[in-house]
Structure 1
């Protein structure tokens, strides 16, 4: 990939486990409401409780796989263990964004039963388009492929966590991108939930 193993292996490991967390949140939320139909029909539990449950499950698996990243960091002389503490500030941003995203996906999954299969296929293809197996700075700024990378929300979520872990500064574009996406995402989730949550018992 044109980079030293001491840099590339932690780069790959961090990107993979974060992307896997996002994929699991998406897949779980797309089917979470239909899989809990009896509880929803009972009407005593909020729909957001199921979404938070799916994210908690994904976070548990993420925590278990983080041992791979720790091994890669310990092995690499370019990464210091103290940089792991940056995750206490950066990873909550990923979780906040996955909550609103999962809320939207849960409503879509409740309305369309085949959403999970479609999303799963798209996410597998999306991994090839996201700088996980390859390094995102390989394209000159302003080129078509550079814009394609910058438009990818998964790239910014991963890079926001990965860059400090690797001792790199966070790109200002990533900070602005995530700030705008977080605000607009929560507005969208609130509007969709307020408008369509009452139809979920009919859809499932």
Structure 2
């Protein structure tokens, strides 16, 4: 099981491939546009104040500032997770030429994927701050807890991207399937609705609490907006992290060397 962590340590000792390359991926994508990377803010702004504002207006009596903050954090976090997991299924085929040239430290490619999506997440923070600071539920004391939730999210994104990348290399159809899975997951994740709408003991409550994306979002959003974190969320995230670590380590040790043959 040390194979994965050996490569991961080497990737952190030599971050030139994934740190600079992921930044270059982001810059070159928008270099020919007039607004440049500011285009990365457009989807977030449209979703928070466009879709979020519209859905909030459909619910009489709702506190709009509170609702927009709820939507903002949920959308930005879920988009981060969705982008990483969707791209992870094809990450090794994307860098097929590098792998054929003998670069078998696959952790470089996964870290490049995660860090590229993290840039989008970071760039969205000014808009997120505008929505969150306007909420009457926001309090600065929740920021450390939210950062812990973000750290747990990052760890899980890496481990599960390793697993998804190996599965996607062996079964390319998984890449097409992942888009549908993420769309379904969005509907049962409380992004544009409150978790209170899915109480425990109901079918919709069971579906929400079985949904890992709900717990990943709640780990970041709840401390920030003063929402209650259910004990099941803490247990779920702890179990999810351990399972992801073990699964990624075993899968990497057994299957990483077969990736060039699968591609």
TM-score (norm 2): 0.73
The CA distance in 2 between the partners of 1:96 and 1:3, in whole Å, is 35
Q: 1:48 aligns to what? A: 107
Q: 1:7 aligns to what? A: 66
The CA distance in 2 between the partners of 1:59 and 1:136, in whole Å, is 26
Asked if structure 2 preserves the Cα contact closer than 8 Å seen for 1:73 and 1:80, the reply is no
Please state if 1:32 is matched with 2:91. Answer: yes
- Equivalent of 1:80, from 119, 129, 139? 139
- Structure 2 unaligned runs (5+)? 1-58
The CA distance in 1 between the partners of 2:258 and 2:118, in whole Å, is 29
How much does 1:114 deviate?
A: 2.7
Give the SS at the match of 2:90: helix
Asked if structure 1 preserves the Cα contact closer than 8 Å seen for 2:185 and 2:211, the reply is no
The CA distance in 2 between the partners of 1:92 and 1:112, in whole Å, is 30
Q: Which has the higher contact order (CA 8 A, sep 6+)?
A: 1
- 1:31-54: CA deviations, max 9, x gaps? 111011111112234011101110
Asked if structure 2 preserves the Cα contact closer than 8 Å seen for 1:74 and 1:81, the reply is no
Larger radius of gyration between Structure 1 and Structure 2: 2
Asked if structure 1 preserves the Cα contact closer than 8 Å seen for 2:146 and 2:219, the reply is no
Give the SS at the match of 1:140: coil
Q: Once superposed, which parts of structure 1, at least 4 consecutive aligned residues long, lie more than 4 Å away?
A: none
Asked if structure 2 preserves the Cα contact closer than 8 Å seen for 1:26 and 1:102, the reply is yes
- Equivalent of 2:82, from 20, 23, 36? 23
The CA distance in 2 between the partners of 1:18 and 1:147, in whole Å, is 22
The CA distance in 2 between the partners of 1:85 and 1:64, in whole Å, is 20
Q: CA RMSD in A?
A: 1.6
- 1:94-152: CA deviations, max 9, x gaps? 00111111001111111122322210122122211111111112133212211111100
Q: 1:150 aligns to what? A: 209
The CA distance in 1 between the partners of 2:198 and 2:91, in whole Å, is 39
The CA distance in 2 between the partners of 1:141 and 1:67, in whole Å, is 35
The CA distance in 2 between the partners of 1:22 and 1:106, in whole Å, is 14
Label 1:183 to 1:70 Cα distance change in 2 as closer, same or farther (>3 A).
same
TM-score (norm 1): 0.93
My pick for the range that moved more, 96-105 or 138-147, is 138-147
Number of equivalenced pairs: 204
Asked if structure 1 preserves the Cα contact closer than 8 Å seen for 2:222 and 2:228, the reply is yes
How much does 1:20 deviate?
A: 0.3
